[in-house]
Structure formats: structure tokens, C-alpha cells
Structure 1
């Protein structure tokens, strides 16, 4: 497989912006010399703000520095997670690049949650909330400190939407730099990633592997820094945000430990300076059209269902309204093309080697699936960026052509029915068929399901698993059920037609409060559940029905 990954990030040149582009972004006239420090000037210029200025002198600023724009460099750094442990080093490179561009850069931090560590425990109840806590933290520091612009460096799943939500609310020139993906692990000729670590428990309880083999998988699944390697939530959101226009080209596909990631960090300040000069802000970039672009790449790459709730939240942060039905419309129009884990063979590092996310964007633009007129943080449009970068590597096997997709429509399907009267989100990758009906196995909480599969995995064969009490209110916090689903897959219960296939279904906030108790009571009585596509429904039968 020929590699066309660039040896250096030949990003669009950050330089003077033509007047015509300024007019496209802003209808109002823009001064030839815009005030770049219009927020920080509130504390650096008035004589009445002596205490503010004294503190800034105290941290090392000079008189000249006080006249420069100030940039908040926010990282979701902490040592206890491979996704985030390297972000402080990246933030330092970003700050240095900001200073080289003639601005003042100040690093600050926010908290994060490791989904891999907390998965399968009550700790997962904190995960989704951490997204909003990250957004609140960044907005708080940026607003209180009067920073003129922001560069955020997230790493793990909920980090990415959290940073973008803060940018949308603040609406000051901003760029997101993804911390990058992890490399796959290797042992005795086998390749591993984080889902290998999840699934090996199911393999162990089913007797497929020994305990020592299980431990070898765990020791070799995470070989260094970076987010989980497949098209899981982190890489999904990074790809969506790059296509949305809020990160630089290659940000989502460059691995965490690749030297190009540090170079991206050093270059970001130059691009941010141009955004300040143009007064090009997140609400100019995050539009209905660019949000559709983000949905398109999620469908094409087979991305996580978490993209649904995160993109809806991002849209809300800029005053736009995105619905479940919007995702279904895009899914009906965009095929599933990427042979990436968890449903496929390859990981994000492999995609990087054949051209990365820009090459995928290039291909989708050629096929008319993306709107190339949307603005990006390069101060150029998506189409203008794509012209600079090479297409997908010739002969590559990761991204299927449009006439030979993995699935002719998107893998994300919105299902309605008596079990989900206001909609649910299903991930249908094309291997499950169009119809499934099976007896229901209802569990009170995640732990009881894990206990049951540990004791008798064969009892799950051909069944539909329902786990109650794990939603936004019941969890609380809508903890993800990757441990149960991985145990099912690891036990070999999702591979064969005689197992009635395995449907991974995410039921979101699907009923209004007045109906919630009614639905929960109904779940106690169901005996069988039916799924159907392409007429999308999820229907439960109770009692003698």
C-alpha cells in the first residue's frame, strides 16, 4: 500500500487575506487595521485597571506585551490517561508558536475523564458531564481573563465537543488541535487496540483464550500516547471537527507521537493571527452547511453514534438547531465507505498513511457529498484547502469507492417505535441484515448484565439485551455500555447468522418525562423485540402479544 502521507504539513499559507474574502465573511466594512486585542484591552489599557496590569507585569509581560492580543491555550492535560498524558507538551509548543506570531500566549488547564478507565464502573457516570464541565471551564477562564482568542488541545472522547462548545459560546477566534491517535499495539504477530482489551474478557469467559493470553492483550493494547486508534468517539469527533472547519488539515489523522503533531502545534499561532485580523469567529465557521459536512464524514467513516449527541450540543452552542431526523436525512444520502475499526480492519494511523482526513475530504468533495464553500480556520474554504492536498493513495484498501461501499447508506439509523416513541440511535454497519426479532433479556443495570454473561454466555445467544437504568437520568449521566457490548462480541455472540447477529443499539434521551415511567414499566413486561430496516422501527412485544 503506497503511502501519500505528507512528510511535512504543507498547510495553506497563513498570510495577508484578500479584501474580497473579508467581504465574504463580514457584510460590514472591516478596518484595514482591526483592533486585535479588543477583549484584553479592557484590562491592559484603562488606568483604573492597575491591579490587572500589576498581575500581568508579575507574570512577566512587558509594556509592549500589554499591547498584544492575548491567547488562551487550553489543554485537557492529565497524566493518568494515554489520550491526554502528552497534551501539556503540545500546549507548550502551541504557546511558543503563539509568541512567535507576535501574540501573548497563556496556558491553562481543564479536567477530563478517561472513558477507558471508567468504563464498566460508576465512574462512567461522570463522563458525559465532563464534556459540559470542560466547556464551562474554558468559557470561564477565557471570559474572566479577557483573552482575545483560544487554541484548545483535547485528547479523549468528551474533550473535543467540550472545547468546541466553549468556542461557540464565546465566539472569539479559535482553533482546536486534536491530541492525536495512538499507534496500534503488537504482540506475537497480532495487532491490538483498546477494544481488544475490552473484548478479551468475553473471550476469556467463553473459554476462547487463557488468562495469560488475556493479560498479554492488556499489556500490548496501549503502546504510548494518543486516543483510541479505531473510528471510536475521539477519532470520530476529531474528523467531524476538522470537516466542520474548526481544526487545521491533518489534525484529526496525524498520530499523537508523530513529529508532525508538534509542527501543527507550532504553526497554529500563525493561523490564529489571521483569524484575528479577519475577525473570523466560530459562528462564521459553524453553520448549518458545515454541520452537515460534519455529519457526512461521520457517515462515510463509520463514526461513533456519540457524534449524534455531540453535534447536536455543538449546534446549540452557536444557536443552531440539529435534530435526529437531520442525521437520518444525511444517512440516507451518504454511503458507509471506511474499513476502520470497530466494524472493520484498520485504524486511524493507517488512514494517515494513505493521505489522512484531508484526502477523504478531497474524495467526498469530488463526489459532491460535501459543501466546499464552507469557511475553515485556515481562512480558506474547505474546497480551497482540499486543492492543496493529494488525493487518497492509489491502490489503498481503507476507503471504498462510492460504487462499491461497505453499505450503500449510512450506518447511523434513527429508529422509532413503542420502545422509542421520540427516536433512538442505532449503529447498523451492514453486517446485521435488515430485520431482526429476538427474545428480550432485561437487566437492571450494567453490573447485573456482566455477571450474567460471566456465568452463562450461551444464554445470550439470539437474544436482545436491554439494560435499564443507564440513561441520562437513570445512570445518571448516560454512561456508555461498551463493557457489556464488548463482552458480547468477545464471547463470539455477534459473528454468526445462527446467533441472530448482534445489533448495537444506543437509546438516547428518547421520551419526554411524562412518558418515562410508562416506558420503564413497559420494559419490565417485554418478551420480544423487533428491529426493522429500511422501514426504521424498534418494536417491543409484551405479555401474550
Structure 2
């Protein structure tokens, strides 16, 4: 980093006077009412994913106004820019829900176009629903200009007859309803009561997990995650973040100074200790790829999972509310408990080391965030499996282990190439206890874009067979924990010709969480015969964004980032 010299000539946004770039931009900005004094200031992109289609983004316009005023008060010049606003529950309607993950990369590219094209000096990211967080962090890592993430908060959930209900439970019970085990009237009532304020889903799903991971990376102000949307504390963080990003520009404190290998390991430890979302693995991998950090996040989660106890138990894995976790100290409290095993020398957006930011942290509830020697669970909540069916990786979200929880499963395969097909078979009674349901063609290329397998998982539970049927898929899963064994994100995926593409009905599959294995019990000569007969699928999309995604996406091992064919070969 350079010293904090506030000479406007240092700013990349200040073009040489008299040049065509200077002249035409000055004409545009004078017409917007900006003065020459304004145009000499640090120019900050306020990245806003506001949308009228989803409650998780509905409060961001007001936050943007507060953030812009804080930037002005600190001597900066804010420019609000907009990107796509992907809500899993809204844009899942089209093309088999395959737009969700690809929108992450669309956000990163959209930010690059606007910020790099305009040569702005810094970015303040208003981060909300779960794909906006990694998309924004990917852009920050790629462009490497001073960037600060603003956590915009979780929503208030509701009650029915004194019992908690939230959006994830609506999703879960929709699966139950499809199998005849939740009435339409009950599902309708749940959908009316589940959400009572703006913000992201209130459990420790992907959104709140990624907010915590952001704090683990050092990319938001300390103590910012989680926070209740529109709370006094959230507004305070917005104001302080707006002031801080201006200082970061003058200090030249950039994302690649902060997001080092040590920071990525810290982020993994936070997610593991909070039994957070498995989706954080691929998102962290994508951010690391953009940051130029050579790290295998599946290996990191495997290594750190063996020595990271579960310190909190926020819904859906345990009884705690997100509000209780927040009040106890949130992600910063988790990091304080883990302080002895974290890399505390890494920098944060404050300009201080992580150790310095944790020095005076106090945990306010020893049950909500337990000490490492008295955890909620001493076994990893997230387990990476490997074996003949998953030579690279497969992921299991166990949550808190109970004596009756099955950790081994062996049974015959029932193979399906789509969720609708599998759900119809379930309803028809073709899937029975003891089966291993293989749902394939759901990966980043096969989807394209990982439409998700959770609908099938919830349908199996709704049928009352959660503990008795295992599911193996190359698709992604919700942050919810199921009762049975579900292995997601199997690599290599079907479209890459991985072993999951070779499974046939009746093949025996063995899952062992303790041994961390996932095996297809078929002789190698038979697999070789099937492998020779396999033909890679032709692209399914002939135009549009999904067509671009399908042709350029790299495997999960590279974070499902988008690269040219040349870079794919070097990966």
C-alpha cells in the first residue's frame, strides 16, 4: 500500500486536462450538475442490486441514498450503479431455475463494465441475497480497486399460532404439499406469514452464511454480519462504510491486500463453525480464482472441518434464531472464539489486522456462541466425500449429529435426469426405502447453471422417507439440512463425463460419511465399457446469457467461473 496522500492527481479517475476523455466526461458531468471541485474527488461506485420483484432487495434504494451522502460528507463523489438482482425464490421460475448461479457471474461482469470502463476509484457494495455477495466479491477481486462490502441485513420472520415460520420453511413445506403431507390452506397461510420485513432469509442459509464469510475475509466493517435489515445498527454501518471507503481510496487499500490465502482459510473456518451453507465453498473458490489465490477450497473445508467445532446452532440446523446469534456477537463472536486457530495477521478493510479488530470483542451469550471446548458439535457439519463415484468431490451437509442420524447408506441406484421426472416417480411409488436416488444433469454445464436439487430432497421428506432414501446429485442444494443422506455437487459432473454419468438403475452405491467416501460398486471393466459409450452433451442453449454461460463455464473446481477456452486449458 502507498501512504495516505490526498493528491487528486493520484486518482486514476482524474484524466489529463485537455484530452478528449477529460473533455467529453466533463461535458457529461457538468450537465449532471457536478462542479470542477466535485470532479477532482475520489469517485466511488455505489453498487446497488435494488429490485421491486424481491423483498430481500426492496430496501436497498434507501440504503444507497444514505451511503452516497456519507461518501459526500467524507469528501468523495458517489455514483450509484445497478446490477441484476437474483432472488432464488423469484428468478427460479424460468428454464428450470438455471438462471440463479449464472447471475452471480453476470453481476461480476456488469460491475466490471461500469466501474472499469469509467475508471472509478473505489466501490461500495450493497450486498443482500446470496448470489449478490460472491458476484460483488468476484468483481472486487478481479478489478482490485479499494472495495468495501455493506451487509444490508436479514428479514424478520413470522409466526403461526405461536410457532416460528420463515421463507425456508415455506420452501420445505411446498415439497411436503406436493407429496400430499401439507394442506394447501396451511401452505398458503405460511406464505402469508413467513416474511415481515425487507432483507435476506432469516436462517443460516447461503445469504447469512456469505455475509459471515465476507466478515471472515475481512471485506466488511467488523461486527457487520449478521445485522437486522433497517435496524439502527445497520444504518450506522452504512454511514461508517460510506466514510471508510473514501479513506481506503486514499490509502490504496485494495482487495488483494486483504483477500489472501490466510483470509480464505479464515472464511472457511467461520462457515464451518457456524454450520453454514455448502454453497460458500464454490463461491469462495470463485473469488479466490478472481483474486489470483492458488487454493483448493474443497481441500480447505476438508482439512479445517476436521478441527473446527460447531459453535452455534442457528435455524435450520439448531434451535437458535438469527437474532439470538446476532445479539451474542455474530460472525465476529465466532471469530473471537476461533482466534487461536485463525490467521490474525491478515489485513481487514479497517487497515488493521484481524487480531487488532478482535482484541476487545466480547461475546454476550455463551450458549448462542459456545466456547471451543464446549461446542454444539465436535464433528464437522460439512463433510467432503471422495470415491469412485466422486473422484474430485461431493459435499454432505450434516449439521448437528444425533445418535439416530444415518452416516452410512448402501443401496441400489434409481437414476433420473431431472427433478420433475424424479418427483413423478416418487409420487407414483417407484422410489422406495433403501434406494439411492441419483439426480444428474444438474451441474454447472449440465443445467446449465445448477438449477438445484432441493425440491426433490424436500419432496422425499414430504413423502416421509427422508431417513430411508439417500440422494446423490451433481446439482446444488439449499442451506436447509435434511433428515437423510444427501450428497450434492458431485464432481466431475454428468456433462463432463464423470462417473455419475455412467450410473445405471440397480447399480449399488455406498455412502460413508465417517470414512468420507462415495463409491459406485461397479467393476472397472464395465465402467470402461460405459465410459466408451458416453457422448458429451451438445450445448442446450443456442442464444442468450445461458448459452454464453454453458460454453464458457469452468468446473466447480475452478469455482464455476467463466473463462475463455485458452484459460480453461490453463486451469
TM-score (norm 2): 0.84
What's 2:334 paired with? 360
Deviation at residue 232 of structure 1 after TM alignment: 0.9
1:115 match: secondary structure: coil
State which of 316, 319, 327 in structure 2 corresponds to 1:342. Answer: 316
State which of 448, 456, 461 in structure 2 corresponds to 1:484. Answer: 456
1:414-441 residue CA offsets vs partner (Å, 9 max, x unmatched)? 2111111122222222343432223323
What's 1:326 paired with? 300
Deviation at residue 261 of structure 1 after TM alignment: 1.4
Deviation at residue 194 of structure 1 after TM alignment: 1.5
How far apart in 1 are the matches of 2:522 and 2:21? 71
Asked if the contact 1:230–1:346 (Cα under 8 Å) also holds between the matched residues in 2, the reply is no
How far apart in 2 are the matches of 1:542 and 1:245? 46
Deviation at residue 320 of structure 1 after TM alignment: 0.7
1:465 match: secondary structure: strand
State which of 369, 386, 394 in structure 2 corresponds to 1:399. Answer: 369
How far apart in 1 are the matches of 2:434 and 2:243? 56
How far apart in 1 are the matches of 2:470 and 2:139? 48
What's 1:533 paired with? 513
1:140 match: secondary structure: helix
1:463 aligns with 2:412: no
How far apart in 2 are the matches of 1:284 and 1:322? 16
Alignment of 1:425-440 (within 5 A): 425-429=395-399, 430-431=401-402, 432-440=405-413
1:41 match: secondary structure: coil
Change (3 A) 1:447 1:190: same
Deviation at residue 503 of structure 1 after TM alignment: 1.3
Deviation at residue 542 of structure 1 after TM alignment: 4.7
Deviation at residue 447 of structure 1 after TM alignment: 1.1
What's 1:186 paired with? 159
What's 2:83 paired with? 110
Deviation at residue 498 of structure 1 after TM alignment: 12
How far apart in 1 are the matches of 2:440 and 2:450? 11
How far apart in 2 are the matches of 1:132 and 1:170? 14
What's 1:420 paired with? 390
1:351-389 residue CA offsets vs partner (Å, 9 max, x unmatched)? 112222222222221xx1222221111122222222243
1:127 aligns with 2:100: yes
State which of 470, 491, 510 in structure 1 corresponds to 2:492. Answer: 510
Deviation at residue 58 of structure 1 after TM alignment: 1.2
How far apart in 1 are the matches of 2:493 and 2:499? 8
State which of 256, 261, 267 in structure 1 corresponds to 2:240. Answer: 267
Asked if the contact 1:168–1:282 (Cα under 8 Å) also holds between the matched residues in 2, the reply is yes
What's 1:8 paired with? none
What's 1:68 paired with? 41
Asked if the contact 1:300–1:335 (Cα under 8 Å) also holds between the matched residues in 2, the reply is yes
In structure 1, runs of 5+ residues without a counterpart are 1-25
1:166 aligns with 2:136: no
How far apart in 1 are the matches of 2:13 and 2:510? 58
Alignment of 1:291-330 (within 5 A): 291-323=264-296, 324-330=298-304
Deviation at residue 62 of structure 1 after TM alignment: 0.7
How far apart in 2 are the matches of 1:385 and 1:128? 33
1:199-243 residue CA offsets vs partner (Å, 9 max, x unmatched)? 213433455432211211111122221111111111111100111
How far apart in 1 are the matches of 2:276 and 2:17? 45
What's 1:212 paired with? 185
Change (3 A) 1:442 1:228: same
Deviation at residue 153 of structure 1 after TM alignment: 0.8
Change (3 A) 1:156 1:325: same
1:524 aligns with 2:504: yes
Q: Which moved more, 1:102-111 or 1:438-447?
A: 438-447
Deviation at residue 145 of structure 1 after TM alignment: 1.3
In structure 2, runs of 5+ residues without a counterpart are 472-481, 528-571
How far apart in 2 are the matches of 1:496 and 1:266? 51
Asked if the contact 2:414–2:431 (Cα under 8 Å) also holds between the matched residues in 1, the reply is no
Deviation at residue 495 of structure 1 after TM alignment: 5.4
Asked if the contact 2:13–2:42 (Cα under 8 Å) also holds between the matched residues in 1, the reply is yes
How far apart in 2 are the matches of 1:498 and 1:115? 25
How far apart in 1 are the matches of 2:374 and 2:410? 29
2:99 match: secondary structure: helix
What's 1:17 paired with? none
Deviation at residue 117 of structure 1 after TM alignment: 2.6
TM-score (norm 1): 0.87
Asked if the contact 1:414–1:536 (Cα under 8 Å) also holds between the matched residues in 2, the reply is yes
How far apart in 2 are the matches of 1:227 and 1:44? 45
Change (3 A) 1:527 1:373: same
Deviation at residue 337 of structure 1 after TM alignment: 2.3
Change (3 A) 1:109 1:460: farther
Deviation at residue 527 of structure 1 after TM alignment: 2.8
Q: Which moved more, 1:205-214 or 1:414-423?
A: 205-214
2:89 match: secondary structure: helix
Q: Which moved more, 1:85-94 or 1:35-44?
A: 35-44
Alignment of 1:75-114 (within 5 A): 75-114=48-87
Deviation at residue 254 of structure 1 after TM alignment: 0.6
What's 1:290 paired with? 263
What's 1:374 paired with? 346
Structure number with higher relative contact order (C-alpha < 8 Å, ≥ 6 residues apart)? 1
Change (3 A) 1:141 1:537: same
